[in-house]
Structure 1
Amino acid sequence: MDLQLELIPVPVADIDRAKTFYVQQVGFRLDHDVRPNDTVRVVQLTPPGSACSIVLAAGLAGIAMPAGSLRGLHLVVADIAEARAELVGRGVAMGEIQNMGGIKYAAFQDPDGNTWTLQEIPGRK
């Protein structure tokens, strides 16, 4: 049995502000922005090189969470210093790189306070 994780809801207060942050600053691809009716909006974004996307949504009770409540989503990168520098250059406030026994991390958050971590794992370049 294959179980493919392909979509993660990210709770935000302002979809347009979050969409701008993820697309223009972090570099995610906009897959779609649809409004099937007056009360529902679904924006799907994909990190570069990833098979898993995020969804920013309004009007979908089944995935509703408090804005900013998501913690520690990991984006695995080949070179954390390079990825961190690119994000800083795009205006993302990044934490310093921390080496945790060979695995390196650097954190940032979106405008709502959802937290993300860049992770570099040795041997996965």
Structure 2
Amino acid sequence: MSNTIGQTLKGKRERLGMTLNELEKQTSVKRDTLVLIENNEFEMLDNPAYAEGIIMKYAKAVNTDASILIQHHKEELPPSVNRQYDQSIEQFSSSNPPMYKTQNKESRELVIWLSGFIILALALWVIAVILL
């Protein structure tokens, strides 16, 4: 069985003799977050969508090619923001738009009635000013 992303990065860090504190200073990533990455607990991150970015920072700090690491272990990573965007785009392009995107006809009718009332009131005011 192959190593997980976390095991690979942790092993590389340990072979370099680097402590988590040193890695934290070098990457500006909190120690707790680094531990979550090493334990492959991506879902526990404050924002799992940032997992790839954190992995890239970690890999760079331990002289490892992050793109190859991520490519070999895509299934370990949580769904990326791009995949979430794809789902949103698919939803909006479907024939059934979300309810909040449909136009409310009652509000349009209200605007028309209010506009008519304002125009009528202005016309009456102008007539009253001219006659007085």
Q: TM-score, normalised by structure 2?
A: 0.26
Q: TM-score, normalised by structure 1?
A: 0.27
Q: Which has the higher strand share?
A: 1
Task: Tell me which structure has the larger Cα radius of gyration.
Answer: 2
Q: Which has the higher relative contact order, 1 or 2, with Cα contacts under 8 A spaced 6 or more apart? A: 1
